[in-house]
Amino acid sequence: MNSTRMRSAGPAAAALVLTGLVTAAGPAAAAPACTPRIQVLGSLGSGGYSVGNEQTEGVLALGPGNLSAGLSAGKPVYWTGTRLHKVPMPDATLSGAVLGVNKAGLMVGAVRGGDGYLFTYRAGDAAITRLPGSDWLSDDADVNDAGYVVSRTRPGLGTVWKDGRKVRDLAPPADAAPGTRIELVTGINNKGDVLGMAREDYEVPETGQHLEGTYPVLWPADGGPAKALARTANDAYVQDLDESGRIVGYDWNGMGYQYTPLTWTPPHPGPVGVPGVLNTHPYGTLEAISPTSNVSVGTATFHPDQQTLPDQAQLWTGAGPLLALPRLAANRASAASSVSDDNRVGGAAVNAGGTLKPVIWTCATKQAYLPQ
């Protein structure tokens, strides 16, 4: 999975300053001018876009001010403006990514591979903080403005951490079939609601019926038991939720590369809303939703073996059709992974020379268009 995306900046959070890097405007300060453009950030890599696979470059989280985070050359990094900073890892050969950042600048990231784990980090710290009980399965994580970190852990559960300590297990719904495991934990909003996905694979002894499939799960902020949300006929990969409880993700029919963007609207469970696909592409995903503005982003795709057009970053305002975000270069791939309330979209795009770059679309809704 990509994990991907800004889920952490709520409008009621107090203004905070990331010393030396980000300045929070005072209450009397005017909102900064917004200029639609594709901002190309500093990068470590020189490779291209890997169709159908995780990318080695990308802005996966958008923080306060000019702070953003993600990966470059497969390494966890963050940016202040366009300037790249490496996250100080205990071993420079480790691969990974920063997956989330909150309004105070607290980042959560993952070290990937057989000895992988989750970590937290703040700009300027000398070292990362490893989260206890996390492991190589923890490739999806999020953090909210209160500093709660969520992710999947062994054995098929989810976990909540605070200040580097485990504070809660996230179990499957009480009425789940035996052997149901938590497959993903992808988001937490500022209320404390946690989003994930459960997978069941169980044969009913009395009837021989085989129960197999996935469904979205919501753990309420009050600490109550998990609640199963509306299922689809296929595998529903939920990716993000906003402050109102709106959820975005995508459906996969289990064959080939047939992804369809999905949304779930409160109250839960409820009907699954399908915004369709970008009119130039047969498949696509939604990877992130802004905290309060109801803007979602993802990537429009073809099957990797049937590429009529390159992948393209896409945006949905919450109404009407899906819209395309401009490419960095003509007929070159792009992908969107994060979105903020100040109308920025983070992701990656290929330049005219064929090199994949981490990018931010500013004033994104003003750039989005319906392809002809």
Instruction: Provide DSSP, 242-275.
Output: -TT--EEEEEE-SSTT-EEEEEE-SSSS-PEE--
Same domain, 141 and 265: no
Same domain, 146 and 63: yes
Tell me whether residue 370 is in a domain. yes
Which of 138, 153, 179 terminates a domain? The answer is 179
- How far is it, in rounded angstroms, from Cα 362 to Cα 358? 13
277: its two tokens: 């696909």
Same domain, 235 and 172: no
pLDDT digits (tens, 9 = 90+) for 21-78: 333 333 434 445 789 999 999 999 999 999 988 999 999 999 999 999 999 999 999 9
Which of 179, 196, 218 terminates a domain? The answer is 179
Which of 137, 162, 179 terminates a domain? The answer is 179
Tell me whether residue 40 is in a domain. no
Residue 233 pLDDT > 60, yes or no? Answer: yes
> Are 72 and 56 contacting, i.e. CB atoms less than 8 angstroms apart?
yes
- Give me the CATH number covering residue 238: 2.130.10.150
Q: Phi/psi class of residue 354: alpha, beta or left (left: φ > 0; alpha: ψ in -120 to 50)?
A: left
Q: How many CB atoms lie within 10 A of CB 329?
A: 17
Same domain, 174 and 76: yes
Same domain, 175 and 251: no
Same domain, 170 and 244: no
Same domain, 123 and 254: no
Same domain, 156 and 247: no
pLDDT digits (tens, 9 = 90+) for 162-200: 999 999 999 999 999 888 999 999 999 999 999 999 999
> Are 118 and 153 contacting, i.e. CB atoms less than 8 angstroms apart?
no
Residue with tokens 């992948």: 311
> Are 248 and 237 contacting, i.e. CB atoms less than 8 angstroms apart?
no
Quick one: pLDDT at residue 208?
77
Q: How many CB atoms lie within 10 A of CB 287?
A: 30
- Give me the CATH number covering residue 62: 2.130.10.10
pLDDT digits (tens, 9 = 90+) for 114-169: 789 999 999 999 999 999 999 877 779 999 999 999 999 987 899 999 999 999 99
pLDDT band per the 50, 70, 90 thresholds, residue 256? low
Among candidate residues 330, 287, 292, the one with its CA nearest the CA of residue 70: 287
pLDDT band per the 50, 70, 90 thresholds, residue 97? very high
Tell me whether residue 98 is in a domain. yes
* Mean pLDDT on 77-89: 98
Containing structural domain, residue 282: 229-372
Same domain, 153 and 239: no
Tell me whether residue 208 is in a domain. no
What is the 8-class DSSP label of residue 27?
T
| Count of domains for the chain | 2
Residue with tokens 């499939």: 213
What is the 8-class DSSP label of residue 135?
-
Tell me whether residue 275 is in a domain. yes
- How far is it, in rounded angstroms, from Cα 63 to Cα 65? 7
83: its two tokens: 């300037």
Same domain, 262 and 129: no
Same domain, 238 and 369: yes
Tell me whether residue 244 is in a domain. yes
Tell me whether residue 332 is in a domain. yes
Look up the pTM and report it. 0.89
Tell me whether residue 14 is in a domain. no
Give the burial class of 255: count Cβ atoms within 10 A of its Cβ; 0-12 exposed, 13-18 middle, 19 or more buried.
exposed
